[in-house]
């Protein structure tokens, strides 16, 4: 397939990867390789990366994975039991956000940035169901760097769906997906390079 044609295709041509109870569209790479490389290298340097913190089973933990949260204004957002305050947008994230919004025909007011140093780092099964998120709103996930497998599991049927997220690619979760499906980034011994994940979200201001 002509990759540049893929960049230009209408979003209606992208199938729903979930068989029921939600919508997941995988666009594949939306940036030419050199542009994706440039974004990756710039974000490595520009993002204010910090070790992530979470409350799990009542215990406060710090992860190897690094995170940063950016948004339209300095509003607070509770994620994994920890209240976070958005940093002001940087130009590189705004550039990516503009492209993502044009491709998805959605709008976003914040971005949670994740840095996985290698395949040892991942995310356990969970749903993005924080009360501050727009109900059934779209979450756009951009991958830069190492390819990683991304998994979905239905909460009732236990059916699983796996998608390999490529460098420069875009995946969108929306509609009832968070109500009925869990997702995770499983660890792997096959990946030895970093992955940056940008998840653009719509937060309801309190």
pLDDT 10s digits, 146-203: 999 999 999 999 999 999 999 999 999 999 999 999 999 999 999 999 999 999 999 8
Give a yes or no: residue 27 inside a domain: yes
Is residue 133 within 8 Å of 204, Cβ to Cβ?
yes
> Where are the extended beta strands (E) located within 117-194?
123-126, 139-145, 148-154, 160-165, 169-174, 181-185
Is residue 185 within 8 Å of 148, Cβ to Cβ?
yes
Which residues have C-beta within 8 Å of that of residue 135, sequence separation ≥ 6? Answer: none
Give a yes or no: residue 132 inside a domain: yes
Give a yes or no: residue 206 inside a domain: no
Residue-wise pLDDT tens digits, 62-105? 778 999 999 997 667 766 666 778 899 999 999 999 999 999 99
Give a yes or no: residue 71 inside a domain: yes
For residue 3, the model assigns a pLDDT of 44
CATH number for 39: 2.60.120.590
Give a yes or no: residue 78 inside a domain: yes
Distances (CA, A) of 201 to 19, 25, 108, 130: 23, 15, 5, 11
The count of domains in the chain is 1
């Amino acid at each position: 397939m002509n990759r540049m044609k893929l960049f230009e295709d209408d979003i209606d041509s992208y199938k729903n990867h979930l068989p029921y109870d939600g919508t997941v569209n995988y666009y594949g790479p939306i940036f030419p390789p050199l542009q994706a490389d440039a974004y990756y290298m710039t974000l490595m340097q520009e993002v204010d990366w910090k070790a992530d913190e979470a409350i799990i089973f009542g215990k406060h933990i710090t992860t190897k994975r690094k995170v940063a949260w950016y948004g339209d204004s300095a509003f607070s957002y509770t994620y994994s039991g920890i209240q976070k305050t958005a940093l002001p947008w940087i130009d590189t994230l705004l550039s990516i956000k503009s492209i993502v919004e044009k491709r998805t025909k959605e709008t976003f007011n914040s971005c949670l940035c994740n840095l996985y140093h290698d395949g040892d780092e991942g995310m356990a099964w969970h749903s993005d169901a924080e009360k501050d998120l727009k109900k059934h709103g779209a979450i756009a996930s951009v991958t830069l760097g190492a390819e990683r497998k991304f998994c979905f599991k239905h909460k009732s049927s236990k059916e699983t769906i796996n998608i390999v997220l490529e460098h420069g690619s875009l995946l969108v979760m929306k509609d009832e997906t968070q109500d009925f499906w869990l997702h995770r980034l499983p660890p792997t011994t096959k990946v030895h390079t970093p992955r940056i994940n940008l998840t653009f979200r719509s937060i309801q201001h309190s």
